[in-house]
Amino acid sequence: MKLSADLLEIITCAILILVSFVGNICLFCSTRKCITGRLQTSFFLIFSLVFAHLIKNLVVNVMKIVYSSGIMLDSAGCKVLHFLAALTTSLAIWFMLYFALFYHLRLYQLVYPQSDAANVDRQKHSLKGISALWVAGVAVYIPVLIYTRKPENLNAGNDTDALSATRIYMDCLIVFGNQQVEFYYGKIFLVLIDILPLAILVFVCFWMSFLLSTKKKMTYGDVWIGDGDSEVEVLRGAKFSILLVLLITPLWISHFVLVCFLNDLAAWVFVPAVLTALSSGFSALSPFLLLLVNYKVKLVSFCGAKEGKSTPQPTNAILSPYA
């Protein structure tokens, strides 16, 4: 039996939705129990990632399934689809940059410890920064929400057309009505707000690799004395940050290249499924890598010192990002 483009996309979306739902719910539940009193910075970051991932799969991919099933999207549906797809992609990149910088800073403090370090209220500033990313993401993509529309002169029988494999990308168009706005905003600005954070992510990835290599060479009289749980968690977090960077960067670049050559590849049946896999693959796979950051780490590294079994911490101790 020959699979159609719509059926392939439905199967791909269903698999991604299932995997992402399981992974993100497990990640949410494993960090939710760490809340004690006020909302912790790192939990807010994890919650933001989980929320963006679930929107990507439970809203965007469900809408793709509905469309591929033969139910046409109206103008409002097109707006929501384009807006949420672009927003969740950018937020995933921005939150990953924050996550990588978080571990880079703590890894740097392990390799090059500083005595009498200034005790700043990073939690307060971090919460503001994460909230600002949400506000900035919505503000950046408001024009996409406004200018996306569904052309009125669509052919009802376009299933046999050569572009039928990419109907969802052709039927919901972003029409700015001004060539300069389309060029500077649609083709330059919207690309830069993703590609610049990705470039910084790659740079941070190489820097963390260098710091990990330096930390590995650190010995005391040629005898390795091991790490505390907090240090183990930081080292593991840095390593998985690198893996996450190596996952999200090729996925974004591959998706971007395919979209640029979409007209030339439209006749290929598997193109919609591949585009969906590339755009949603990170939201489906990354939660499982994030869960491994604190795998088998004891004491304070997962939820901090538990109630009733608190462990005294030095003033400049590096706590878990989940603490």
pLDDT tens over the chain, length 323 residues: 446 778 888 899 999 999 999 999 988 887 776 555 444 556 788 889 999 999 999 999 998 898 888 787 788 888 888 899 999 999 999 999 998 998 898 889 888 887 544 445 566 677 888 899 999 999 999 998 888 877 665 544 444 444 444 556 666 777 777 888 888 998 899 999 999 999 999 999 999 999 988 887 765 544 444 456 677 778 888 888 999 999 999 999 999 998 888 777 766 778 888 989 999 999 999 999 888 876 544 433 345 444 434 444 444 444 444 33
Write the CATH number for 99.
1.20.1070.10
d(CA 89, CA 147): 19
- Asked whether residue 191 is domain-assigned, the answer is yes
Provide the domain count of the chain.
1
Integer angstrom CA distances of residue 73 from 76, 82, 128, 267: 8, 12, 36, 22
- What pairs with residue 173 in β-bridges? 149
- Asked whether residue 279 is domain-assigned, the answer is yes
Q: Give the pLDDT of residue 171.
A: 67
Q: How many residues does the chain have?
A: 323
State the residue range of the domain holding 229: 7-112+128-216+225-294
- Asked whether residue 82 is domain-assigned, the answer is yes
- Asked whether residue 185 is domain-assigned, the answer is yes
**Mind listing the pLDDT tens digit for each residue in 205-235?**
999 999 988 887 765 544 444 456 677 778 8
- Asked whether residue 299 is domain-assigned, the answer is no
- Asked whether residue 170 is domain-assigned, the answer is yes
d(CA 252, CA 202): 13
Percent above pLDDT 70 for the chain: 73
- Asked whether residue 99 is domain-assigned, the answer is yes
Q: Which amino acid, 56? A: K
- Asked whether residue 171 is domain-assigned, the answer is yes
| CA quadruple 131, 145, 56, 199: dihedral sign | negative
Q: Are 93 and 248 in contact (CB under 8 A)?
A: yes
Q: What is the 3-state secondary structure (H, E, C) of the chain?
A: CCCCHHHHHHHHHHHHHHHHHHHHHHHHHHHHCCCECECCHHHHHHHHHHHHHHHHHHHHHHHHHHHHCCCCCCHHHHHHHHHHHHHHHHHHHHHHHHHHHHHHHHHHHHHCCCCCCCCCCHHHHHHHHHHHHHHHHHHHCHHHHHHEECCCCCCCCHHHCCCHHHHHHHHCEECCCCHHHHHHHHHHHHHHHHHHHHHHHHHHHHHHHHHHHHHHHCCECCECCCCCHHHHHHHHHHHHHHHHHHHHHHHHHHHHHHHHCHHHHCCCCCHHHHHHHHHHHHHHHHHHHHHHHHCCCCCCCCCCCCCCCCCCCCCCCCCCCCC
